[in-house]
Structure 1
Amino acid sequence: MAADSAGGHDSILLLFICLIGVIVIFTLIGMVGSGIAKRTGRRKTQDEWLGGTALLSVCATVALYIWGALHVMFMENDNMREECAKAGGAVKAAQVDRYEAHYFPLRFTCHIDEGGSYDAAVPGYINPAMTIAFVLAIATGAVSVVARERRVVA
């Protein structure tokens, strides 16, 4: 998804996605908390630990996405050139003719009138950390399912 600026209809959609993300985070944290409360007094099994880790990893992925999306979404027209200057220097920022927001992966791109471009505004750790949290969620979720099936069969 891309837009010529960080404002407009795409920002409204992104705000809606962020709102749903916050609801998902609280729901998943509630699920983890309820799982902990139900199992007090007995030792947790490996699949329960892995399942909880998977849910918390999903929460981390969604939270990181929301944090990065807020950097893109709240870029006002006045701040766009300033962010481009921070990322590429004043000389490059003076040559910027348009901006583009990408929401997957998260990035804010400054396009130079001579044909080049460079990214700005989204902290550099967001996309790699989001990828790591997502891979951790998938891996621990899959291992949790396998461990649960082995426990049920045994």
Structure 2
Amino acid sequence: MSGDQPFARHEGVIVLLLLVGGFLATVWLAVYGIRTLVRTRAKRSHATALVSASALAWATTVGLYVWGLLHLFIADDYTVGRACDAAVGKQLTGYDPSFIPLEFGCVSSDGRTVPVVIPSYVNPVLAVLLVCAVTLTVFAIVRSKEKTT
């Protein structure tokens, strides 16, 4: 992005829709996971325990993504401008917004992109949580198919 292009940031409507949908999905997955966990204690089933664990892992993953989006939603132009000035100073040439991985980067004149606004722990923890959620989901599917055959 050159200096004469307008300020680029995440599309506000998409951020708002992702926030609302992500919040609802987090609550639904957490409630589903807890209800399944309660049923697991009564049934003493490993398959339902895996389903519960995978639902709770997905709830945590989506919840953390929503947490990162909330930082984007709250940050106004002044906050972003000050963060970019602090990160790259007078070398600022543009902005690099991204939904996956979730970041808002300030591009400097030497070509490097410095992420600002979103806490630095969000993307690494999201990666770990995503691997855990996918793994638990695969194990739950395999376990439920073994149980039905």
Which residue number corresponds to residue 99 of structure 2? 103
Distance (whole Å) between structure 1 residues aligned to residue 112 and residue 138 of structure 2: 42
Q: CA contact under 8 A between 1:6 and 1:74: conserved in structure 2?
A: no
* Alignment gaps of 5+ in structure 1: none
Q: Does residue 5 of the first structure (1) align with residue 1 of the second (2)? A: no
SS of residue paired to 1:5: coil
SS of residue paired to 1:52: helix
Which residue number corresponds to residue 14 of structure 1? 15
Q: CA contact under 8 A between 1:107 and 1:120: conserved in structure 2?
A: yes
Q: Does residue 82 of the first structure (1) align with residue 82 of the second (2)? A: yes
Q: CA contact under 8 A between 1:28 and 1:55: conserved in structure 2?
A: yes
Which residue number corresponds to residue 3 of structure 2? none
Choose which of 137, 140, 146 in structure 2 pairs with 1:141.
137
SS of residue paired to 2:61: helix
- Give the TM-score normalised by structure 2: 0.83
Q: CA contact under 8 A between 2:37 and 2:48: conserved in structure 1?
A: no
Which residue number corresponds to residue 65 of structure 2? 65
Equivalent position amino acid for 1:49 in 2: A
Tell me how large the CA RMSD over aligned residues is: 2.2
Q: Does residue 121 of the first structure (1) align with residue 117 of the second (2)? A: yes
Which residue number corresponds to residue 47 of structure 1? 47
Q: Specify whether residues 71 and 33 from structure 1 end up closer, same or farther in structure 2 by C-alpha distance, changes over 3 A only.
A: same
Structure 1 stretches of 4+ moved >6 Å = none
- Identity level (%): 19
The alpha carbon displacement at 1:142 in A equals 1.0
SS of residue paired to 1:99: strand
* Alignment gaps of 5+ in structure 2: 1-5
Distance (whole Å) between structure 2 residues aligned to residue 115 and residue 135 of structure 1: 31
